[in-house]
């Protein structure tokens, strides 16, 4: 049977350990929520940058610059799609991701045909 000093020491140590554990879990949960918000901002920024570059590709009269813009837009959108689902990206940005992907691909084909001729 353990001595009373050991039992008394455990009765003090256990609440302290539990308190430290709960504080650590709460701090890490808070950190995860900040990271999630930061990731959402990054994803939205990627999609919006892709949209801007796609628009620039349509407006550019120089086919080489247009090709650069449309490839950049496709890469930005592709990166966002690797990190989140289309549904999540649409919820974050309000942009139809599948339509945007198809539009960028059509734009890339048009510019490539312009360069080939």
Mean pLDDT score of the chain, rounded to an integer? 82
The whole model's pTM is what? Answer: 0.69
pLDDT-based confidence at residue 9 (cuts at 50, 70, 90): low
Q: What is the pLDDT of residue 36?
A: 80
Q: Are 69 and 54 in contact (CB under 8 A)?
A: yes
Which pair of tokens denotes residue 67? Answer: 């090709």
| Sequence ranges of the domains in the chain | 4-116
* Neighbouring C-beta atoms of residue 66, cutoff 10 Å: 22
């Amino acid at each position: 049977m353990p001595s009373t000093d050991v039992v008394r020491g455990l009765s003090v140590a256990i609440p302290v350990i539990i308190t430290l554990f709960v504080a650590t879990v709460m701090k890490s949960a808070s950190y995860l929520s900040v990271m999630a918000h930061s990731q959402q901002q990054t994803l939205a920024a990627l999609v919006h940058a892709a949209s801007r570059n796609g628009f620039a590709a349509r407006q550019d009269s120089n086919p080489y610059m247009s090709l650069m813009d449309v490839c950049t837009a496709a890469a930005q959108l592709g990166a966002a799609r690797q990190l989140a689902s289309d549904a999540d990206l649409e919820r974050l940005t309000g942009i139809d991701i599948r339509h945007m992907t198809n539009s960028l691909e059509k734009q890339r084909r048009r510019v490539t045909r312009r360069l080939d001729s």
